[in-house]
Amino acid sequence: MRSVFAYAIAVFIFTVIFIGAGFVVAKVITTETVPSDEKDVSVILSELRQVMRSSEYNVQAYLIPSTDTHLGGSSRRVSYVSGFTGSNGFAIVGETKAAVWVDGRYYLQADRQVDTTYWEIMKSGLADTKSHEEWMRDNLPSAARVGLDPNVFSPSDFDRYSKYLSGYGHTLVSLPENLVDLVWEDKPQISLSELEVQQLAFSGQPISEKIERLRSEINNMNGEALVVSTLDEIAWLLNLRGRDFSTTPTFYSYVILTMNDLYVFFHKDRPVSESIKDHIRTESQTNCIFDFTYETFLNGLQKVVSETTKYIVIPSDGNQATFERIPSERRSVVSGFSPIARLKAVKNNVEAEGLKNCHVRDGVAVIRYLHWLNVTIGSETITEISGATRLQQFRSEQEHFKGLSFGSISGFGPNAAVVHYSPTQETNLEITTEGVYLIDSGGQYYDGTTDVTRTIHLGEPTDFEKLAYTLVLKGHLAIDRAIFPPNTRGAHFDGLARQFLFQEGLDFAHGTGHGIGAYLGVHEYPPSITSAAGSPGFVENMFVSNEPGYYEENSFGIRIESIVQVVKFEGKPGMRDFAGRGAYTFHSVTMVPFHLKLINTDLITKDEAEQINAYHREVVETVGDLLKEQDQAAYDWLLEETQPISSTML
């Protein structure tokens, strides 16, 4: 029988970026328990294959991505058919065989969850793992038809699969229905929340100014319309927030912006008040059209195509179904990141100030939690789940708190070694003094989104645990003190983070950093710190995570994550400014101390010790007043935990 694990619905609203060392650490955006009476995997596969064989579809293989119609969230279809609940999986069901692909974050999770009687686990990134195409090459019958739902594939993926398969005499076909949905009798319905206006006091920019900049970009591309399907981009553009997803304040919708009109496509069953429409009309200062619904989006797109003559601009993260509705000679596909993603990545002054402010309050909550752990351990049982629940309580007491930004990754001992870990009743370990505890968590606030990871040991760490922690910390500090010209690429900083681990033959299988939204997605791209090409460089007021780590399988995991802001470097005597381009550095807005007990001072330099001390002084100065107001004992504990340290390096 299929194991009863939590669904990991990762509604990241971002394109997952493959890098040489893996993926950026994913966040479990919301969890729903799989019903205990769920169908057995063998039954699901049998029913799906029966539909595949029917005369109506007649396909010999079916491709199932984890993405939804917006190519950013999780449809849970991979989870349903395979039992694998990670946020990023891909499944292919053939006539007699089936395979599910997972990346480095999920190797251990897939081993636990997937029944290999029916599924082959394909671990992406390992040298002997076949690609999707190679697996189909070796397992399809001659002249096979391979089916997919064009609503959940990008045009580039469709084109890649189609060309490869045709080279072996096979055909890729778009099907009018999603075959998994046809056999999924009790598929959960999407949630439709009421919408709320993100006031200018928090957004910092009216819709009209955003539209003006976008229309200028559309015009520069000889275009006449821009299709917007990425949910956080729509929320940002319209200065609206929703709760269709429990931890990301976005909502199901589409937008098409033309040179004269703004088409907004709300779900037909969504309760949209006239005040919300009035907000859009008033703040956009353009003609707004609400005639079409979410369900009739493609009809609205056809209307725009028929009434315009120039290019229709389509971001590369749009789906194949949208692509097929626009004549080839009218398509202008944006390579890389969309115009909105690039604008959204650079926070305006109001957004930047809000992100700094919310991290102060969030830091208070995390410090109170760490103090509570230290004084409570041994006197009562604390588990991964109960600990995460207590942290949520501390966050809920902060001003402007709206909820979590993802399900907390609360992992003790061997569970901390699972990069993308979500505790369940089956895996829930007690937090004790006998191992490393990793807590990766974040909050949503009206003025920003937070994401912080700290790793601690409530007992006596081993020498190797201290070595690993110190090497990770040294990489974290190297990024923090980096000085660079504008538009420096993320790959440069990725190397800084890994250099000390590399010297000991160690590494981590995920990216080093991701952007973060202003009361939006906990993952936002650009910016990013990865070895991948294509990400635009860093400029002032970008915010990105700094999160190197190390994971010892079945033993412990370490990650240190702070959100840092790109700021101007004030300079030092005699320093040049990159030929007038200006010098920049990172400044941490996360205000939570490092764990001194895990630092091997024999391995840190004098400058690194002072960098740690300076950061700890800033933490105390920044959160001190609010922390004392809420919890004097936690403040006293913070003072003890941030005592100056010295290098003992020989």
The string of DSSP letters for 16-82 reads ---BTTB-PPP-B--EEEPPTTPPPHHHHHHHHHHHHHSTTT--SEEEEESB-TTSSSB-SHHHHHH
pLDDT greater at residue 523 or residue 572 = 523
Contacts of 284 (CB under 8 A, 6+ apart): 206, 207, 208, 211, 238, 262
pLDDT of residue 533: 67
pLDDT of residue 372: 98
pLDDT of residue 32: 35
pLDDT greater at residue 548 or residue 38 = 548
Whether 19 shows a pLDDT value over 50: the answer reads no
Residue 382 has phi, psi (to 5 degrees) of: -120, 125
How many CB atoms lie under 10 A from the CB of residue 22? 20
pLDDT of residue 189: 84
Percent of the chain with pLDDT over 70: 94
**Between the CA of residue 272 and those of 196, 234, 275, 501, 554, what are the distances in Å?**
10, 15, 8, 52, 49
End-to-end, the C-alpha distance of the chain in Å comes to 58
pLDDT of residue 7: 27
pLDDT of residue 574: 85
Whether 35 shows a pLDDT value over 90: the answer reads no
- Of 228-232, 569-573, 576-580, 641-645, least confident by mean pLDDT is 569-573
Domains, the chain: 41-183 (3.40.350.10), 196-344 (3.40.350.10), 349-641 (3.90.230.10)
pLDDT of residue 230: 94
Instruction: Tell me the average pLDDT across 284-313.
Output: 97
How many CB atoms lie under 10 A from the CB of residue 307? 12
Q: What is the pLDDT of residues 598-639, one digit of tens each?
A: 999 999 999 999 999 999 999 999 999 999 999 999 999 999
| Strands (DSSP E) found in 324-445 | 331-334, 401-404, 409-412, 436-441, 443-445
Cβ contact 2:41 at 8 Å: yes
pLDDT greater at residue 550 or residue 419 = 550
| pTM of the complete model | 0.88
Task: For residue 345, give the amino acid letter.
Answer: A
Q: What is the pLDDT of residues 446-491, one digit of tens each?
A: 999 999 999 999 999 999 999 999 999 999 999 999 999 999 999 9
Using pLDDT thresholds of 50, 70 and 90, give the confidence band for residue 518.
very high
pLDDT of residue 34: 37
pLDDT of residue 21: 38
Cβ contact 530:19 at 8 Å: yes
State how far the Cα of 258 lies from the Cα of 308, in Å rounded to an integer. 9
pLDDT of residue 72: 76
Torsion sign across C-alpha atoms 413, 414, 416, 417: positive
Using pLDDT thresholds of 50, 70 and 90, give the confidence band for residue 36.
very low
Whether 190 shows a pLDDT value over 90: the answer reads no
Distance of CA 165 to the CA centre of its chain: 31
Contacts of 302 (CB under 8 A, 6+ apart): 325
State how far the Cα of 100 lies from the Cα of 84, in Å rounded to an integer. 8
- Of 184-198, 339-353, 380-394, least confident by mean pLDDT is 184-198
Q: What is the pLDDT of residues 44-102, one digit of tens each?
A: 999 999 999 999 999 999 999 999 999 876 779 999 999 999 888 999 999 999 999 99
Of the candidates 409, 427, 428, the one whose C-alpha atom is nearest the C-alpha of residue 419 is 409
**Between the CA of residue 443 and those of 36, 249, 263, 366, 513, what are the distances in Å?**
30, 11, 32, 10, 18
Q: What's the per-residue H, E or C state across 617-629?
A: HHHHHHHHHHHHH
| Angle in degrees, 0-180, between the axes of helices 274-284 and 207-220, rounded to the nearest 10 | 60
State how far the Cα of 502 lies from the Cα of 539, in Å rounded to an integer. 28
Cβ contact 209:290 at 8 Å: no
Instruction: Tell me the average pLDDT across 412-430.
Output: 93
Using pLDDT thresholds of 50, 70 and 90, give the confidence band for residue 11.
very low
Mean of per-residue pLDDT scores for the chain: 92
